[in-house]
């Protein structure tokens, strides 16, 4: 297959050598490279970045599948229809498919092009980013907007820094932030989070509101007696039968993903746990201070908090790198996210900006951790 084409044409000196990054990418995608070690350790572990990245994608699958079903469910509920399980799922799948296609096609095209320019092998980081982006944007987002956001984030957040492993901010989140600040009307408000149907007769019901629990809670519609936020009960939010971006609604699906990530060691449980702790603490303080009536643990199940803590904050490239730093970083992500939720008049979802801010701060956290470690070492040297 790809290998047969290789000799001559794509080899060094061949006519199409300039395409070698792309050819290598397809080739090594199909088959593990036959490269042998030439210095350093003579044997190497079976793990490579492709495997690490595919683990993250697998961990995202439960949230994605549930999200597709939920897209159908929310639309069907909004119009007062009862489509049944499979129709809901098919609807969601068909709505999500173009988003995935656009995200991957645009992102990978840029990724391949940049690798060509750098003359390096294509990095597999975009496997995850491309899967994440459709899960965190409104399902009805115009595809050209999505394409623009993907292009912006891949070029200006990843490739200009040198590709996966060199970036400062999480590219998927920047794509979302780009949409949020450039096209706020498509990204916020109470009508964007549920997909409008394709049925023309039903299409023009613009006035219909489908606010997310987070927005409802923000407006103060919390029933302390039943524990419900608007029409949604606590268990609705745990299962995920609420409006929101595709991936974020189901606590259970996200926790399955978290289990996979922690079990395989791909993502840091320290960041997840400390982020939850930070969110709980600030949520509780907010309750005491009278900023909200919602119990602190609601903060974890509403909106994108859990999805962000599990899949976005834990990105090994943009998170803190030291083990102590991970505790601090995670805690501040959670705490900041809830601070934004509670003490911000306009914008109710704090997770995106909290993670991006902490991405910026992560090197500083690491610097402090490492400095205190080296000065401790220096002291030890003096006393020894």
Partner 1 sequence: MSNNLDLKKGLNIPVKGAAAPEVIQTVSPDIVAVKPTDFKGLVPRLLVKEGDIVKAGSPVMADKQRPEILLTSPVSGTVQQVVRGEKRKLLAVVVKADAKQEYVDFGAKAPASAAETKDLLLKSGLWGALIQRPYGVMAGPEDTPKAIFVSSFCTAPLAADFEFTLGDSLKDIQAGIDALAKVAPVHVSVKKGSNTFAQLKNATLHTVSGPHPAGNVGVQISHIAPIMKGDLVWTLSLLHLAAIGHVINTGKLDLTRKVAVTGPAAPKTGYVQCLPGTPVKAITAADPDVRIIGGNVLTGETLGAEGYLGFFENQLTLLREGYEREWFGWAKPLRPKVYSSSWCYFSWLTPKKQYDMDTNLHGGPRAFVETKCFEDVTPMDIFPIYLIKACLAGDIEKMEKFGIYEVLPEDLALCDYVDPSKNEIQAIIQKGIDLMIKEMA
Please give the residue ranges that form the binding site for partner 1 (CB under 8 A). 3, 24, 28, 30-37, 39-52, 54-55, 121, 123, 125, 162-166, 263-266, 268, 316-317, 321-323, 370, 373-374, 377-378, 380-381, 384
What Å distances lie between residue 241 and 135, 154, 230, 245, 352, CA to CA? 15, 32, 13, 12, 22
232: DSSP letter: B
- The neighbouring-strand residues paired with 229 are 222, 232
* CB 306 to partner 1: min, Å: 22
The minimum distance between CB 364 and partner 1, in angstroms, equals 14
127 or 338: CB nearest partner 1: 127
Name the β-bridge partners of 232.
229
DSSP sequence for 261-326: HHHHTSS-HHHHHHHHHHHHHHHHHHHHHTS-SS-TTHHHHSTTHHHIIIIITT-TTTS--SHHHH
Nearer to partner 1, 360 or 374 (CB): 374
Least spacing, CB of residue 212 vs partner 1, in Å: 33
- The residue among 125, 133, 109 whose CA lies nearest residue 161 is 125
Quick check: 253 and 260 in contact, CB under 8 A?
A: no
Question: From CA 365, how far away is CA 368, in angstroms rounded?
Answer: 5
**Residue number with CB closer to partner 1 (5 or 31):** 31
Residue 70 C-beta-side C-alpha neighbours within 13 Å: 29
How many Å apart are CA 97 and CA 59, to the nearest integer?
Answer: 19
Question: Residue 35 or residue 185: which is nearer to partner 1 going by CB?
Answer: 35
Instruction: Tell me how far, at minimum, the Cβ of 266 lies from partner 1, in Å.
Output: 7
Choice between 146 and 266, CB closer to partner 1? 266
Q: Which two tokens stand for residue 35?
A: 């490269």
Q: Give whichever of 55 and 179 is closer to partner 1, judged by the CB atom.
A: 55
DSSP bridge pairs for 222:
229
What is the Cα–Cα distance from 121 to 131, expressed in whole angstroms? 21
Q: Give min distance, CB of 62 to partner 1, in A.
A: 17
- Least separation, in Å, of the C-beta of 5 and partner 1? 15
**CB closer to partner 1 out of 123 and 212:** 123
Q: Quick one: 251 or 317, whose CB is closer to partner 1?
A: 317
Least separation in angstroms between CB 46 and partner 1: 4
* Helices 49-78 + 125-136 axis angle, to 10: 10
Q: Which is nearer to partner 1, 1 or 207 (CB)?
A: 1
**Which string of b and e fits 306-340 if b means at least 16 CB within 10 Å?**
bbbbbbbbbbebbbbbbebbbbbbbbbbbbbbbbb
CB of 168 to partner 1, least distance (A): 13
Q: What is the spatial distance between Cα 196 and Cα 138, in angstroms, rounded to a whole number?
A: 11
Measured from the CB atom, the residue of 54 and 353 that comes closer to partner 1 is 54
Cβ of residue 211: shortest distance to partner 1, in angstroms? Answer: 38
Cα 155 to its chain centre, rounded Å, is: 18
CB 102 within 8 A of CB 108: no
Q: Please state the closest distance from residue 21 (CB atom) to partner 1, in A.
A: 11
């Amino acid at each position: 297959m790809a290998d047969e084409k290789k000799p001559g044409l794509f080899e060094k000196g061949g006519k199409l050598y300039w395409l070698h990054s792309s050819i290598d990418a397809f080739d090594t995608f199909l088959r593990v490279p036959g490269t042998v070690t030439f210095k350093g350790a003579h044997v190497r572990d079976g793990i490579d970045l492709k495997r690490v990245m595919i683990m993250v994608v697998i961990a995202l699958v439960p949230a994605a599948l549930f999200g597709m079903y939920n897209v159908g469910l929310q639309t069907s509920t909004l119009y007062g229809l009862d489509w049944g399980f499979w129709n809901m799922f098919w609807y969601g799948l068909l709505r999500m498919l173009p988003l995935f296609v656009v995200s991957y096609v645009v992102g990978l095209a840029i990724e391949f092009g940049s690798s060509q320019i750098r003359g390096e092998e294509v990095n597999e980081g975009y496997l995850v980013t491309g899967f994440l982006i459709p899960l965190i944007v409104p399902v009805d987002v115009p595809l050209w907007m999505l394409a623009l956001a993907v292009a912006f984030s891949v070029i200006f957040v990843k490739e200009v820094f040198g590709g996966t492993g060199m970036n400062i901010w999480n590219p998927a989140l920047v794509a979302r932030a780009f949409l949020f600040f450039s096209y706020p009307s498509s990204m916020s408000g109470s009508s964007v989070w549920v997909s409008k149907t394709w049925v023309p007769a039903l299409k023009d019901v613009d006035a219909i509101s489908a606010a997310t629990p987070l927005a409802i809670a923000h407006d103060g519609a919390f029933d302390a007696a039943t524990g419900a936020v608007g029409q949604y009960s606590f268990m609705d939010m745990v299962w995920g039968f609420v409006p929101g971006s595709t991936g974020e609604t189901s606590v259970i699906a996200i926790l399955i993903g978290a289990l996979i990530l922690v079990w395989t060691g791909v993502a840091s449980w320290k960041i997840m746990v400390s982020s939850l702790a930070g969110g709980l603490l600030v949520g509780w303080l907010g309750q005491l201070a009278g900023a909200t009536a919602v119990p602190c643990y609601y903060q974890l199940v509403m909106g994108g908090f859990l999805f962000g803590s599990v899949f976005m904050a834990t990105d090994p490239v943009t998170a803190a790198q030291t083990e102590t730093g991970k505790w601090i970083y995670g805690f501040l992500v959670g705490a900041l996210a809830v601070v934004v939720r509670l003490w911000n008049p306009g914008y109710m979802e704090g997770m995106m900006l909290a993670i991006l801010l902490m991405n910026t701060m992560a090197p500083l956290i690491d610097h402090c951790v490492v400095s205190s470690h080296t000065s401790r070492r220096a002291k030890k040297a003096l006393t020894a």
